[in-house]
Structure 1
Amino acid sequence: MTSTIIAILLLITFIGFIAFIMKGGNLMIGFFVMAILWSVIGLIPFDTAIQKVFAEPALNYGPTIIYIVFGSWFGQVLVDSGIAPSISAATNKVGKKRPFFAAILVVLVTSLIFVSAYGVGSVIAIGVILLPILLSVGLPRDLALSIFSLAIGAPMYLNVVLYNQMKAFFPKAHYAGTYLVFGICAMVVQLIVVLALILLNRKKINPANTEQNLAVIGANDDADEIQKVPAITYIIPVIPVAMNMIFKWDAIPGLTLGVLLAMLLTGKLTSNFKNSIKFLNDTIQTSISNIAGLIMFLMALTFFTGAASLNAARFKPIFEALLPHNTLILCLAIGILAPLALFRGPLHVWGAGAATAAVLPGTGLFSDAFMLPLMYTVTLMAVSTDITQSWNVWGLEYMKVDSKAFLKYGVPAMWLVTIINELLVYHFFG
């Protein structure tokens, strides 16, 4: 009887937490409060709660925080060394003569950069270069913003910073081997759909509207004024992934090698010791300050995950009854229901789906290796096209685009991508 009452109370707070998130509540505070509530309601002994909810989960997550720090630092180096802006500006050379090809090139360049770069700061730094280029070749503002956001989302399957945020939910998954092959395939699927979106809307590309669109956002087609760097540096963004795939390197040495090569090839690692140290200090301070809030959010998440794991057995009968045991059916169901990830909904792990993702691993119904890509794929639908995603919010304001027009392009495209990629999840992990 007592166990039933506890399960009901946990479920009530679970639903309340989802409602709190859906109304825009602060996730960090929500996770922290839920960790306390589930420890109390679940009758977890005080000493056990201190150790298993608030100490061990945070300490065990420490190595993942290091990956996020190094990933953020690498992304900042790409921006501040001039590599990312130079790659972006290089696309402008073909834009005036071949608008359709220029739009495709911008998509590919954006994805190349965000294999490693991450965060709203990096998106803004690159967006103020690439978005005016898209407008300068004649794309309408809503289409330009949509393909730019979708192109950012595609390489997030391989982005070590975002992947390691997912590991807070599924700690036994590994960024290596089969996952990397899946990630590349999933990224290619999304890029193909983005390119198809451009092709289907190619008649809307009208260079005659260039000046008007640039005037609306208050921008100029000035990509040629950006300082150029050696063309060989354009391969730097993929070095960490390549080192992992070819030589089985861990992400930390791969990211460190990328930083050193970026500095060396762009002249930031010079005989002037003070300038080199200043560049290092500036990029480190900026990158860490950019993720300070994220780290504390992830700490709160690990607290809740610890409490959820101790109470997971109470939810196992519920999930066993609700979830399909056939992994193919589950993958198809998640793909079909993918729009539920929008607006921080129940399939978005950094939204209402966080509660579900935190509880599921503890039930033991599915492996972390399967659950991570299953939930990651549907979450990336929201990352790519949701109007609550931080950089999409910035993009809507910068480009003066109505949210309905943005969703009109992004949602159908990403719905198709998600269904296909969920089938890839089944193929590789199911």
Structure 2
Amino acid sequence: MNSVNVIIGLIMILSFFGMIWYCVKGYNLMIGFFIMAIFWTGLALVGNKIVPNSAMAKLDFIGVLTNVFQDGPQNYGKSILVNVFFGAFFGRILMSTGIASTLIRKTVELGGDRPRVTMTLLCVATSVIFTTMTGIGPVISIAVIVIPILLSLGLPPNVTLFAFMGSIMSGIFANVVNFNQYQAMFVAANSEYSKYTYNQYFNFGIICMIITIVVVLVVANIALNKNKISHAWAAKTSSGSVDNNAPAISWIAVILPVIGVVAFKFPIILGFLVSGFYALLTCRKLKGSFVSVCSMLAKLFADGAVDVAPMVGFLLMLSMFNNAAIFAAPYFQTLLGSFIPTSALIIAVAFAILTPLGFFRGPLNLVGCGAAILVVVISSPANFPIAFLYPLFAVTTIAPQHLDITQSWVAWGFGYTRVTTKDYMKMSIPTGWIVGFICCIIAYIMYGGLAG
């Protein structure tokens, strides 16, 4: 092994731990990944001057900078951010029409004054809602309905927060916007991976969604056995009377985008637009003059953009880090390449065991430090197909990240419920690990044979 590559690789690995420390301290992740992009690009440029870096073979100094700081955000914006914005627009429609809140209220009526039953029904409803909704705005809008209901039923705050966040994590496994977001990282490493579609992933996503909600509910119920429910009565909601409920015919709008993509092969943006029009039409929100309707639609889109603005900034900086990781990959390959398994079973088991490394934006988290590990795994001699690799990385990203204290809406939840991070992590980390372990094994059972 070349000593220069080893030294640079070790420095980069140490920066992994620095980034984890940065995340745990709660510092701004957008700035953190921008700094990491600069640091890794600088190290790779220095290393290239001493020992040629194969990833920089056809690029000069300005070409490298352009690839990281211009092409990264530019390509990411073209392929992913439009989906994020239209997904947020659709989320705003679900909120403004009252469809999301109506589903929650009807779920509470079904559960009545039975806390465990109501918690189960609300978690399932939340999971379904977040197969299409995305962003901190929609999360908070649903949270301020669901969390007070669960608290009013006597559930401890730590169990309430965990169950709600776990339900979101469950829905994200089948969320089409998140699929496109993660897939873009594979495409950045190899353009051939653009042929992998949501339809190919869908069955796995639904299975993981079901496994996740079951595990979350089991853990929540075990926690309830240890934390006695203090009281129970039929939950009251202040979010509107029955007259303000969205009509039953409109409720299907929540899953229409997924149905459109899977059953009719709609492009996702068209799916969001058709589903949004259906929601507005069935909820009679298209009344009034043409000008007033246009103003309403413009406001919904603007509000949706505000909802995801922090996430967009973060994703653009992350795209710089992703491209920097491509130039960093040869150094990781020098250090770690010989340790990457060539057996589909072994790598699936390794991902299952190491799922906790996805917490705190760690090395198995694609929306974290996992971009460099992704490039190393992709370039390994095993040449695993994306149909197998994508589910593995999706699991070690989604399961830890959406229960993680570095997730923006989880951090918001601590302030809203007054739950301590220690009490929350006693449930979140074991649950993320259990879900990750099971789903990685499922990935091998479903797709391991494709790896040859």
Give SS of 1:269's match.
coil
315-324 or 356-365: which moved more? 356-365
Give the one of 205, 213, 238 matched to 2:255: 238
TM-score when normalising by structure 2: 0.84
Aligned to 2:433: 415
Aligned to 1:9: 8
Instruction: Supply the distance in 2 between the matched residues of 1:278 and 1:402 (Cα, whole angstroms).
Output: 42
Instruction: Supply the distance in 2 between the matched residues of 1:405 and 1:346 (Cα, whole angstroms).
Output: 25
Aligned to 1:182: 204
Shift of 1:412: 2.5
1:21-420 equivalence runs, <5 A: 21-24=20-23, 26-34=31-39, 36-38=41-43, 40-41=45-46, 42-43=48-49, 44=56, 45-50=60-65, 52-61=67-76, 62-171=78-187, 172=193, 174-201=196-223, 203=225, 206=229, 208=231, 221-223=237-239, 225=241, 227-310=244-327, 312-357=329-374, 360-361=377-378, 365-420=383-438
The answer to whether 1:425 aligns with 2:440 is no
Structure 1: gaps (5+ residues): 215-219
Shift of 1:47: 4.5
- Residue type of the alignment partner of 2:148: P
- Residue type of the alignment partner of 2:39: M
- Residue type of the alignment partner of 1:8: I
Residues 287/359 of structure 1: CA separation in 2 closer, same or farther (3 Å cut): farther
Residue identity (%): 30
Is the 8 Å Cα contact of residues 40 and 324 (structure 2) preserved in structure 1?
yes
Aligned to 2:190: none
Is the 8 Å Cα contact of residues 74 and 259 (structure 1) preserved in structure 2?
yes
Instruction: Supply the distance in 2 between the matched residues of 1:313 and 1:327 (Cα, whole angstroms).
Output: 23
Give SS of 1:243's match.
helix
Give SS of 1:104's match.
helix
Q: For 1:251-278, what per-residue CA distance to the aligned partner results, in whole angstroms no more than 9, with x for missing partners?
A: 1111111111121122222243233222
Is the 8 Å Cα contact of residues 18 and 355 (structure 1) preserved in structure 2?
no
Shift of 1:170: 1.2
Shift of 1:199: 4.4
Instruction: Supply the distance in 2 between the matched residues of 1:181 and 1:274 (Cα, whole angstroms).
Output: 42
192-201 or 137-146: which moved more? 192-201
Instruction: Supply the distance in 2 between the matched residues of 1:414 and 1:311 (Cα, whole angstroms).
Output: 29
- Residue type of the alignment partner of 2:200: T
53-62 or 383-392: which moved more? 53-62
Instruction: Supply the distance in 1 between the matched residues of 2:140 and 2:204 (Cα, whole angstroms).
Output: 28
Q: For 1:327-356, what per-residue CA distance to the aligned partner results, in whole angstroms no more than 9, with x for missing partners?
A: 222222222222232233333333343443
Residues 415/39 of structure 1: CA separation in 2 closer, same or farther (3 Å cut): closer
Residues 209/101 of structure 1: CA separation in 2 closer, same or farther (3 Å cut): closer
Is the 8 Å Cα contact of residues 162 and 220 (structure 2) preserved in structure 1?
no
Instruction: Supply the distance in 2 between the matched residues of 1:269 and 1:198 (Cα, whole angstroms).
Output: 41
Residues 7/358 of structure 1: CA separation in 2 closer, same or farther (3 Å cut): same
